[in-house]
Amino acid sequence: MSLDPTDWNETRAVGRAMVDDILTWLETVRERPVWTSVPADAKARLDEAVPRAGAPLAEVYAAFKRDVLPYPTGNIHPRFWGWVMGTGTTTGALAEMLAAAMNPHLAGYDQSAAIIERQVLDWLKELVDFPKDASGVLVSGGTAANVEGLTAARVARCSFDIREEGLRAGPPLTLYASSETHGWITQACETMGMGRQALRSIAVDDDYRIDVAACRARIAADIAAGCRPFAIVGNAGTVNTGAVDDLVALRALADDFDLWFHIDGAFGALAAWSDSRALVAGQERADSLAFDLHKWGYMPYEVGVILTRDPGAQLATYKPGGAAKPAYLRSAEGGISVDTTYFADRGMQLSRGFRALKVWMSMKEQGVDRIGNAIQTNIDQARRLGVMVEAHPDLQLLAPVAMNIVCFRYAPSGLAADTLNSLNEAILIALQARGIAVPSQTVLHDRFAIRVCITNHRSQDHDFDALVDAVVKIGAELAAA
């Protein structure tokens, strides 16, 4: 039996309606609140028994339109600046539909989709000044990309055969990153079996950049104590404040001790596409560079990238050696099985989807210069918001605006300092609950910060004006109550 439509024309009609509706929905995104909680009646309808029997596509689509579509995260909205969430594009959404319809398997193989993935990787390498022969692979996102980079680092620099013998065969491994590094790194240490103790969390300076001298001292002390340092992780854009570590100094430090230099550039690496590329100067000299396209590349979830300078090092991490390659995955001289596992040998995934299509179509349709201009606009908007905050008597900037993130709080004179944290948290919740805007939160030196991270190609200057007005208005209202 086939699961294909019994009536293709009916499916065609529903499909056309879907495309039509979704384009209108995207076109009118600004008219809706940034975010609304899923109402109880929709939640109740979404709690169903296993659908043993099917229903017409039109009916299923109607349920989607009624109970799913109206309650998104909100990150496609022009006033969403929470965490580090990308906005997506219309072209990216359409590309996802085409990719799903083609449904290719991207372990490798002789097929157009593999050529497209190699093509976009070549473009991506060039855009961050990586060598032409560097290795790369598209992954689910920044976390996966960082783990792939660290895994390659460990194989390359641990000084024993960790793939064959595991961690017990060598001295305790250690790696170095600033205390501002994103939480993926603790997760990676746990998942990779080294434990969190392997991570040497290095202090930062007033600009939230790693203290390079402290890092050097810690490496030397660890070597003296019998540990085996293997990698330094630099940040090109920290998640809290957008700080960029001194990447040139970290490269030199890594070279002094023969360590792998990995960079987490989840969003910041994309500054290289803009006129502000000097912000991330030095990232092109990393041994591995991880970044997302679903954040500042504005492409739909999920797509991240890991680039590895030495192509042999990435292969040496995953490619099964000799006879270890299972017979069912071996490449042939001809037929479809040429390069059967071209991509699968470069990362953890075997079955892989056609992520590359949305990247290829987005880059071709928008043009990379235009995407770079959107990135530059976000940087300009952050600077402008920082200036507005500093100029406002009732607002206080809590960290330097290094890139596209602004951390601030409502702090008019006359309010007790110990009430400011709870007040600002209440302001943030009100902003979100009233559907005005969605910044998120962080804590800097024990101060609760309203954190605005701009990876949004739909935001305009007046959106930030509206945010400032709302914070001040809600702040005054809550402080009076």
Ligand X SMILES: *Cc1c(COP(=O)(O)O)cnc(C)c1O
* Binding interface with ligand X (CB under 6 A): 84, 141-143, 182, 184, 237, 239, 264, 266-267, 292, 304
Question: What is the closest distance, in whole angstroms, from the C-beta atom of residue 267 to ligand X in the complex?
Answer: 5
Strand pairing report for 395-397 and 304-308: unpaired
- Residue 231, H or E segment: strand 228-235
Give the distance between the most distant pair of CA atoms in the chain.
78
Of the two residues 236 and 374, which places its CB atom closer to ligand X in the complex? 236
Give how far the C-alpha of residue 433 lies from the chain's centroid of Cα atoms, to the nearest Å.
25
The span from the first CA to the last CA of the chain, in angstroms, equals 66
Closest separation in Å from C-beta 290 to ligand X: 8
Phi, psi of 449 (to 5 degrees): -115, 135
Smallest distance from the beta carbon of 91 to ligand X, in angstroms? 20
Question: Is there a contact between 236 and 265 (Cβ–Cβ < 8 Å)?
Answer: yes
Pick between residue 155 and residue 266 the one whose CB is nearest to ligand X: 266
**Of all residues in this chain, which one has the CB nearest to ligand X in the complex?**
142
Minimum separation from the CB atom of position 387 to ligand X (A): 24
Sheet holding 199-202, edge to edge: 135-139, 304-308, 288-292, 260-264, 228-235, 173-178, 199-202
Looking at beta carbons only, is 407 or 474 nearer to ligand X? 407
Q: How far is the CB of 411 from ligand X (least distance, A)?
A: 26
Q: What angle do CA 243, 121, 84 make, to 5 degrees?
A: 30
- Residue 193 phi/psi, 5-degree rounding, is 80, 5
Min dist. Cβ of residue 196 to ligand X (A): 17
- Looking at the Cβ atoms of 43 and 196, the one nearer to ligand X is 196
Rg (CA), the chain: 24
Looking at beta carbons only, is 109 or 301 nearer to ligand X? 301
Choice between 61 and 83, CB closer to ligand X? 83
Closest to ligand X by CB, 245 vs 264, is: 264
Rounded Cα gap, residues 154 and 90, in angstroms: 39
Give min distance, CB of 479 to ligand X, in A: 32
